[in-house]
Structure 1
Amino acid sequence: MTAGLPEPAGFPDCPVCAYVLTGTARLCSDCAGRTLQPVVDPHCPVCSQAVAPGGQCGNRLCTLPLQQRGFSRVDAVAVYSGALKDKIHKLKYEGRRGWAMIFGRLLVGWMESHPERMRGVDYVVGNPTHPTRQPIQHIEAIMDAAYTEDVTHVLPLSPPGAHRLVKTTETPRSANKNLDDKRTAAAEHAAALTWTGDTSDIRDATILLVDDVLTSGSQLQHVARRLRASGAADVRGLVLARVPWSG
């Protein structure tokens, strides 16, 4: 990976890595890929959940028509487990900003490594959090870092602070809620979102919606349907981590 230079420390030892400041998105993505739990095959082509050979995905969203599902597919950088789960938690609930930079690199590295998945994408936007979120607006921090780590600026990311999709009203969180309450919270979240640019920009656009974690996909569904109702031709998802289902 780095002939004649120190070896990268490996995820999650990123803070002490020789390349913590100078590493590229591809370097960090390749390095992390050696230790992160990958999304295995076979997996659902819609939500990336692992399935048994010849089996079907148990996610009810994947059986819905596209108009009802909203998103065409969701890809994941890795599975939500081990060190990745821990570091997402460190950023999201403890405000450890250094991990936003690493996660931005992982996302950009994935995008650079999967040009076929990025083909036709007009906008890469984060699934936003409200400005009052504490201890940190983690999605915005990750997206700002991703723009910085895309040094050639070939990806359709927005500059730091210029997020195209924003949340204007705080809504109830869905954590530790039952399924019906989660769906209600997801619908309220989507209703609180605003496209900051000219809404005509959305018309016929392909949007890649980025989030940290995917479990059932209910929130992504509601946000995607909102974007499609505004004229988007296609909404795809990309998450740092896919929560594995048991059973």
Structure 2
Amino acid sequence: MTAGLPEPAGFPDCPVCAYLTTGTARLCSDCAGRTLQPLADPHCPVCSQALAPGRPCGNRLCALPEAERGFSRVDAVAVYSGALRDKIHRLKYDGAHGWAMIFGRLLVGWMESHPDQMRGVDYVVGNPTHTGRQPIQHIEAIMDAAYTEDVARTFPLSPPGAHRLIKQKQTPRSANKDLDDKRAAAAAHAAALTWTADTGDIEGSTILLVDDVFTSGSQLQHVALRLRASGAADVRGLVLARVPWSG
């Protein structure tokens, strides 16, 4: 990886790594891949959930026609566990901004190593947080970092601050709620989003919708349906972490 140079520190020791400032998306992605928990094999081609051999995916969304599901597929960098879970939490709830840069690199590294999944994508868009979110708008911070880390401008990311989807009002949170309340919160979240027309025409486009964590997919479903109702032809998902679950 780095012949004749110090070895990367490994995730989650990124803050003390010799390549914290100079590292590339591919270097950091490959390094993190040595310690992050990979997706199970086999896993669902639609939602990336682990599959029991010979059994269909237990996620109810995956059995829906795509027109009702909204998204065509959701890929994940890794499983939501251990250090990755902890560092996402630190960024999201403690405002540890430095992790946004690392996560931006991991996303771009994934994009670089998965050209088939990126083929035909017109826009890479973050699933937005409320503009007044505290301590940090973590998705926006990650997306800004991803643009910076895409030094070759290979992917259709927006420049920092120029986010294509925005959420100007707060909606109910879904954490620790029952399934019906989670679905209601997801619908309210999607209804509060606005596509900023001056950043590109959504009509007929293929959108890669980026988020931090994917569990059941209810919120991503509602956002994808909103985007398709606005004219998008295809919505795909990419998340940092896939929450493992059964049922």
| Fold match by TM threshold 0.5 | yes
Pairwise CA distance, 1:200: 7.2
CA distance in 2, matches of 1:46, 1:198: 31
| Aligned counterparts of 2:154 and 2:197: Cα–Cα separation in 1 | 20
Residue 26 of structure 1 deviates from its aligned partner by 0.1
Task: Supply the distance in 2 between the matched residues of 1:206 and 1:131 (Cα, whole angstroms).
Answer: 25
Q: Secondary structure of 1:201's match?
A: coil
Structure 2 CA distance, aligned partners of 1:71 and 1:154? 23
- Measured on the aligned residues, the alpha-carbon RMSD in Å equals 1.0
Match of 1:223 in 2: 223
Partner of 2:102: 102
Equivalent position of 2:241 in the other structure: 241
Whole-Å separation in 1 of the counterparts to 2:246 and 2:193: 32
Q: Report the Cα offset of residue 199 of structure 1.
A: 8.7
Match of 1:191 in 2: 191
Who is 1:201 aligned against?
201
The one-letter amino acid of 2:211's match is D
Once the two structures are TM-superposed, the CA of residue 160 in structure 1 deviates from its matched residue by 0.1
Q: Partners of 2:199 and 2:229 in 1: how far apart?
A: 11
Aligned partner letter, 1:185: A
Structure 1 residue 168 displacement after superposition: 1.7
Match of 1:171 in 2: 171
Structure 2 unaligned residues grouped into runs of 5+: none
Tell me how far apart the structure 2 counterparts of residues 137 and 224 of structure 1 sit (CA, whole Å).
20
Please give the per-residue CA displacement for 1:133-161, whole angstroms capped at 9, x wherever unaligned: 11100000000000000000110000000
Shift of the alpha carbon at 1:197? Answer: 1.9
- 8 A Cα contact 1:108 1:150, kept in partner: yes
SS in 1 for 2:197: coil
The TM-score normalised by the length of structure 2 is 0.99
Say if 1:199 and 1:162 are closer, same or farther in 2 by CA, change over 3 A. closer
Deviation at 1:54, TM superposition (A): 1.2
Q: CA contact under 8 A between 2:25 and 2:150: conserved in structure 1? A: yes
8 Å contact from structure 1 (residues 72, 236) kept in 2: yes
Q: Does 1:17 align with 2:3?
A: no
In structure 2, the residue matched to 1:83 is: 83
* Alignment match, 2:71: 71
Letter in 2 for 1:36: L
CA distance in 2 between partners of 1:198 and 1:65 (Å):
32
Tell me the distance in 1 between the aligned counterparts of 2:242 and 2:79: 5
Q: Which amino acid counterpart does residue 5 of structure 1 have in structure 2?
A: L
Question: Which sections of structure 1, spanning at least 5 residues, go unmatched?
Answer: none
Secondary structure, aligned partner of 1:90: helix
Cα–Cα, structure 1 residues 200 and 145, in superposed 2: closer, same or farther, change >3 Å?
closer
In structure 2, what is the Cα distance between the partners aligned to 1:246 and 1:60?
12
Q: Deviations over 1:193-215 (max 9, x none)?
A: 00112497111100000000000
Report the AA paired with residue 134 of structure 1.
Q
CA distance in 2, matches of 1:193, 1:51: 33
The one-letter code matched in structure 1 to 2:22 is T
Deviation at 1:103, TM superposition (A): 0.1
Identity of aligned residues (%): 85
